[in-house]
Structure 1
């Protein structure tokens, strides 16, 4: 190894310092001890509280969560693998131990910067690209709502891409080691949809490399490179095998694995189970409109966010002030107005990649001669078309139904994280070539002019849309209704203020259109002056970094700013402080189930923070639970007997007199377990569900005919028989029974056959799926100890393989370090 030049680290130190400084300033409240108020994180804390409390007592998380939808596996909420050598410990290192969300933005910046250095870019261009990738508006938008795992996974996308690129550059040792490490971290963030989209990117890029290797007859390198990339990826995945194995197993039983009650399947084949989400569900949220793609360049085309972006300086705000509203109330009224009017049912903000970055991307396509532009353009085109979802249904439904595993994911516009990465990447490549390699500035100037014409054409298209749009949204009837209430039914005032909202939407479009046009013109002028030798290189670099960064940081502040932060005490009190009703329920040490009708019962997990909730929120709830909700509990009137069998002792309802939560006690709750008098058999799952429309769960258990073999005897009525819960320790639940005759017990616990086992006096006994969602057990006469244990093989068997994969990864790192000492260092190409 040659003598190391410490001065060579200075550019990278500058880059790190810039990234930290920008993130700290951007998220200043986090440095003041404030916390983000994130809807999805608040929901997650509700989901996870039972697990957190368990860990406080035992030192580890349980695998079963008692507090959500009557009970469900905890894999996708909070789980830890017993891997003492896990690379996940590097995650905090790569975030420099910075607080949330500062560390998130830094992670995206440094990940892209690493990629820029692998492709040989100037460090200032790497800084420009890193900020562009990290602060494109989708990032602050998802941070604001609480998509933390998605944001962190995005931080490793460019790092894995760079590591694979090292392999393809014949830097095998470090390429393999880093591919394994960064793949492990990407998968370890546990956002498989981001990982899936990365695989699409990696596949297309690899095809591009293969074409070049075949053209140059470099078949040896082709074989080595593909093998090492595959090995590195598999090792990274293997180190997360606990997560992957449990997720793979569990997904089959969730709504993403399909339903036993799909009516289309039942008509043709009553035993068939559909797999994957329905297109209606998967595409409902996050189907970008074709014209909406222009938000890459002009963020306000469709008004921005459904949450409203207007202030007292808007048309509505000024009109309200003229009507006598105090300025703060006028601003509040304006902020209630939903400015978004595009094709999606709602959105938290547009995907804006930056006007300057979009221009540099177009310039890269026109100017660069490298073949890399073609795979980058291909990935971006795929991402854009996929993101249209239901707005290009003929194509996207075909892809959804035929592309392997794609039907497990929803919100197709998430795939636009790929252009978010690749637009600045191509822009950096173009600037590297233009500023540090190009000799023929006259030819480059011609390409710049052509790029200006193309970009001007895009702006002209946006201008035509501005003139042709109606600015009327699908949800505007609700806005008119709200205005009608505010103005006490005055049709004239309602119409006036609604028309002002239309004017505000037009202003948001026109203001951003002019803004983007000015920014692009500024970038063009900088490059023009450079190519005509009017300004020096340093001014070009400074100008591009500043205008591209200020552009994105300013727009991002619309969606993530001081208003998103709260004092931690205020946050906890407003979200998790128990109400008087909560405190009353918590006096019941038996911890029965609760049904809260004062919130969106099946789309809100906050009740689970304090209670064992019949409802909740989870995008991966068990499909049998989803079926029960759809067939029995979401209908009107809901099936009260189903609530009884789920042991709903308490309902939280709204007091009609004061609108506050009130407590109702259900005297018919059946408890934790009971003996039934009869077993009613039904053909097929749909038969079980239909039989539950009218039944008495206290006396009758409904079981599918195919499970009859697991019931050794029919129950015999015994008025003196008893069964009770002894303890519920999440993964271990114990009961005691005593009866003079054979019995069949129904347990008010959710059935899940991939891990739960039942033992009667130590002898394993089949668990019978009962009443569609519950567990049943045939219990012989006499006194017995009954134990349920949750020990999924997918968890315990995969842990050793995960440890082995991780150990190999660390050995590869040591090998790469050793190889670095043996061989002369080479400059990255």
Structure 2
């Protein structure tokens, strides 16, 4: 009996078992019945915004398209969406072996990177090493802990898609097409466009490297086939993603990411015209010039913004020297952050994007010892990611990218660009290990390259020493310290003492991290030297590096992803138990009213139970954001609250306890106005709604008023809400003269249609952010329906594309099997 297949499969089975065991140990509280308490989304985050939609689905069998519980209304398909698919199972669950969250995230990341290594014909131990390093890079636990699950899934699938492209580029066309298509679908369907964008920069760099080879070898036929198959994979993946893509692209035009027409500074409003995010907003969460070194040295700039100074801080010593009592000095110092990178308040660093010292060191060695032009394009995109991460600290360059790089102005948080390094550096690290230990000429390469390795490690050490010596150790936070009034006698003596102590702490911290890096360089060099001298077998050496790397990452990860981040499921339910105030509001069974929580910005707790006028979503409607900035940033404007039908206000007393304030002046779901105030543009309209009695007068731009419209006051006119659901609203209106009805619903032109007695009618943007409707005299039935064509079109395309995906994956695997039976398998390389 031939057991060769079992022998070949055994290392991969071992790898899967390793990934399972590590993920289970890393997420052990899940095995004890606990769940993550994810502070950014979690139950009262994303779930709060989606709760109403799921309640509707429970009653009707499908998710609604409009969400009534966040920001007075927005498309629900930006929060929770479902469409048709020919694929009968959730492929994410299949590849994650139905593991519970968050175990599945780390397991999937390991599997995808391991598949990439298998495609490259690496030794299984190299694949295990690289997979563990990639999956447990510290940024991953950070974002999982925060609840950014789509981001984690998009990161996890990057190696799978890259592997499919490499198969195509190395003439394994059929299996490459199947895997590239599947990987692209996974990547896009993770639905985190910014991570996908970074991956496509990596893919572009790798492709350029191969194009150089193809042109050099005059292999134009292969060039054409590779481009064509890659395009097919991309198109089918886009087809599968079209439901999310079409709706999101349509929605983005009306959000903060689509630009703005007004500039708001306090009470002043000016006209402007921008595309994409504002530069200041896009450049939030920028890294200082030295900060990307955290990929090698996790505590180089102090860790996270929430990490306090140590008890032996030099700040205490400096303050004591000025005469401050030691206890008072220690108490003050304990409130200062150890973090001194570029993300100063109100920006916040959740922790370092640490990829592992050994991985970083091996990657730099890889750029020296790995052959072929592709390594240079990978190096180029790696450097690009560092420059992008600097954001506002390298504004000239990054402003150029915002203005000229397609779609880049839709994203913020430049620090996220280091996700590129999170794939490129582990990839170069395993390429270095393969080249030195397992390639056909590995023994020769190891001997020839050893001197270059020494020079490389020496160069890294020299750079770190120069950074240690040459820095000022200043931070933007120091300016905030200097502006504090600390000395009751005036002057800045205490301020300067604090800053001097902080700089001394930072230098000491950075120096300790340099020494730490030197230790890891010694470990890498020791393993390489031992393997060169045959004191260690290469497999043992790589296993040793893998263990040390995993332990290193584990220690750092657990500082930001400890067992304390888990809670029992019963405790989670406590978070969504209605308070006494919630219960009081819920006694009101009227289908239409809203709740305004003065502390509700960036929180969806109220949205879990009520139709909230505030909430959290990363892409708010631009019109609504303008109203928030102009009228809700301080004491909310009473007219706007009434127009939004805010019947209940949740405030806080002097003790911080919630207080319910009923608002009997709310205008209700709809009302006839007695007059129209015409304005010329967005600036005038936004300013006018704050000083106009919106119950009697509607503010409308001249260009939006139907020709010949005359409004006369009709004291007998009535409008009554008959039906109110997420996607359909019905009214009965009666007026002797006809007139303009203002609807207390957010204006959104892409999908909401109005019908009067069954005939289409135009919805007019009214009061800057609301809907208006001209109604003729008499009694009429009015119906508003949310029926976006983007959803219907996207759903149809996605469904058809899911069939194409099945055909390509199954057909590609079958055709590759037939091809491999006739011809030997071609080696897959990174462009050597």
User: Cα–Cα, structure 1 residues 816 and 75, in superposed 2: closer, same or farther, change >3 Å?
Assistant: same
Once the two structures are superposed, residues 488-529 of structure 1 have per-residue CA deviations (whole angstroms, 9 ceiling, x without a partner) of x9x999999988766654554343332222122111111012
**Within the alignment, does 1:583 sit opposite 2:604 as a pair?**
no
Whole-Å separation in 2 of the counterparts to 1:725 and 1:171: 63
Distance in 2 (CA, whole Å) between partners of 1:389 and 1:812 is 41
Compute the displacement of 1:457 (Å).
3.3
Which 5+ residue runs of structure 2 have no aligned equivalent?
320-324
Work out whether residues 337 and 479 of structure 1, in 8 Å CA contact, stay in contact via their aligned partners in 2. no
User: How big is each residue's C-alpha offset from its partner over 1:426-475, in whole Å with a ceiling of 9 and x where there is no partner?
Assistant: 11111112112364757634533433333333334334444555555434
The whole-number CA distance in structure 1 between the counterparts of 2:447 and 2:440 is 11
Question: Kindly tell me: are residues 442 and 171 of structure 1, through their superposed partners in 2, closer, same or farther at Cα, counting changes over 3 Å?
Answer: closer
Superposed, 1:194-273 pairs within 5 Å as: 194-262=195-263, 273=273
Within the candidate set 803, 808, 811, 1:807 is matched to 803
- CA–CA distance in 1 between the matches of 2:297 and 2:123? 28
Question: Who is 1:127 aligned against?
Answer: 128
Counterpart in the other structure of 2:705: 708
* Counterpart check, 1:623 vs 2:625: no
Quick check: 1:437 aligned with 2:439? Answer: yes
Matches within 5 A, 1:378-389: 378-389=380-391
Q: Report the equivalent of 2:733.
A: 737
Q: Is the 8 A contact 1:312 1:318 kept in 2?
A: no
* Structure 1 residues 250 and 226: alpha-carbon distance in aligned structure 2, compared to 1, 3 A threshold: same
User: For 1:684, which of 677, 681, 684 is the aligned residue?
Assistant: 681
Q: Which moved more, 1:446-455 or 1:11-20?
A: 446-455
- Note the C-alpha offset of 1:69: 0.9
Shift of 1:703: 0.8
Please tell me whether the aligned partners of residues 734 and 778 of structure 2 are also in contact (alpha carbons under 8 angstroms): yes
Question: How far apart are 1:99 and its partner, in Å?
Answer: 1.1
Q: How far apart, in 1, do the equivalents of 2:451 and 2:46 lie?
A: 51
Would the alpha carbon gap of residues 452 and 351 (structure 1) be closer, same or farther in structure 2, given more than 3 Å must change?
Answer: farther
Q: Distance in 2 between matches of 1:791 and 1:249?
A: 13
- The 3-state SS of whatever aligns with 2:40 is helix
- C-alpha root-mean-square deviation of aligned residues, in Å? 3.1
1:476-487 paired onto structure 2 within 5 Å: none
Matched, 1:793 2:789: yes
TM-score (norm 1): 0.91
Secondary structure of 1:215 counterpart: helix
Give, in angstroms, the shift of residue 730 of structure 1: 0.3
The superposition leaves residues 739-794 of structure 1 with CA deviations (integer Å, 9 ceiling, x where unpaired) of: 22202110110000100001111111100000010000011222222111000000
d(CA) in 1 for partners of 2:420 and 2:16? 24
**Within the alignment, does 1:775 sit opposite 2:771 as a pair?**
yes
Corresponding residue for 2:140? 139
The 3-state SS of whatever aligns with 1:41 is: coil
Q: Is this contact kept in 2: 1:187–1:195, CA < 8 A? A: yes
Q: Is the 8 A contact 2:763 2:772 kept in 1?
A: yes
Q: Which moved more, 1:432-441 or 1:624-633?
A: 432-441
Which residue in 1 is equivalent to 2:276? 276
Instruction: List aligned pairs for 1:555-634, cutoff 5 A.
Output: 555-573=556-574, 575-590=575-590, 591-597=592-598, 599=599, 601-634=600-633
Instruction: Specify the alignment match of 2:176 in structure 1.
Output: 175
Q: CA deviation at 1:401?
A: 0.7
- Provide the residue aligned with 2:322 in structure 1: none
Which position in structure 2 is the counterpart of 1:347?
349
Q: 1:333 to 1:592 in 2, by over 3 A?
A: farther
Which of 46, 49, 52 aligns to 2:51? It is: 49
2: distance between equivalents of 1:257 and 1:39? 28
* C-alpha spacing 1:821/1:302, structure 2 compared with 1 (3 Å): closer
Query: Does the Cα contact within 8 Å between 2:369 and 2:435 map onto a contact in 1?
Result: no
Q: Are the equivalent residues in 2 in contact too, given 1:713–1:742 (CA < 8 A)? A: no
Alignment partners' CA distance in 1, 2:25 and 2:163: 28
- 1:401 pairs with 2:403: yes
Secondary structure of 1:60's counterpart equals coil
TM-score, normalization: structure 2? 0.91
Partner of 1:673: 670
Distance 1:133 1:802 in 2: 31
Distance 1:550 1:581 in 2: 48
Displacement of 1:714: 2.4
Q: Distance in 2 between matches of 1:566 and 1:497?
A: 38
Contact 1:136–1:354 at 8 Å: present in 2 too? yes
Q: Which runs of 5+ in 1 are unaligned?
A: none
The 1:52/1:429 distance shift into structure 2, 3 A limit, reads same
CA pair 387-813 structure 1, distance change in 2 beyond 3 A: same
Alpha-carbon separation, structure 2, partners of 1:577 and 1:708:
46
Size of the alignment, in residue pairs?
809
Residue in structure 2 matched with residue 721 of structure 1 by the alignment: 717
Distance 2:186 2:337 in 1: 38
Deviation at 1:113, TM superposition (A): 0.6
Deviations 1:358-384 (A, max 9, x none): 111111111122323112111101111
Q: 1:797 to 1:79 in 2, by over 3 A?
A: same
**Partner Cα distance (2:54, 2:603) in 1:** 18
Aligned to 1:112: 113
